[in-house]
Amino acid sequence: MNPIEHIAQQFAAQNYKLTSQREAIVQVLLDHEQDHLSVEEVYMIVKSSYPHLGLATVYRTLELLCDLHIVEKMNFGDGVARYDLRGGVHEHMHHHLICNVCGKLEEIKEDWLLELEHRLEREYGFTVTDHRLDFKGSYNTCKSSGCKREKESEAVS
């Protein structure tokens, strides 16, 4: 089953329709899965196919996708809400490495916390239903040689 069909089933299970406009928004998220797009970025991409689609519709659709647990709304410390598709294969969200110097965002798809979840259930009787972990720091290449973003910010100063 392709991702759109799977998402359409999730919509139907909650008595919603995956309209053509909603499908276009989902397709943008699928096409840009590694980018963690903001509402405005999704809007700018989708409006080329749907010029009459409003920003409010994109916002409402993304919020509905969050409510249906199809996407996760996240903030990586830059004050911008970004949207990340939840993987259908994984039980939990993936994790992120966020560079404080260049702003690079890298995903870790492996679930490193599974053993911790089992321990929490054994020792505390607490069942984890989801988790998200973001690591903030800097890459050695950014610290040692200075990265492109760091050089650009110095040029502006």
Residue spans per domain, the chain: 1-89, 91-157
Nearest C-alpha neighbor of 25 from the set 9, 42, 11, 8: 42
| 143: number of Cβ within 10 Å | 14
For domain 1-89, give its CATH number from 1.10.620.20, 1.10.10.10, 3.40.50.2300, 1.10.3720.10. Answer: 1.10.10.10
**pLDDT exceeds cutoff 60 at 156:** no
Rounded CA gap, 72 and 109, in Å? 15
> Which CATH number is correct for 91-157, 3.40.50.720, 3.40.50.300, 3.10.450.30, 3.30.1490.190?
3.30.1490.190
Residue 71 pLDDT greater than 50, yes or no = yes
Mean pLDDT of all residues in 124-130:
86
pLDDT grade, residue 63 (50/70/90)?
very high
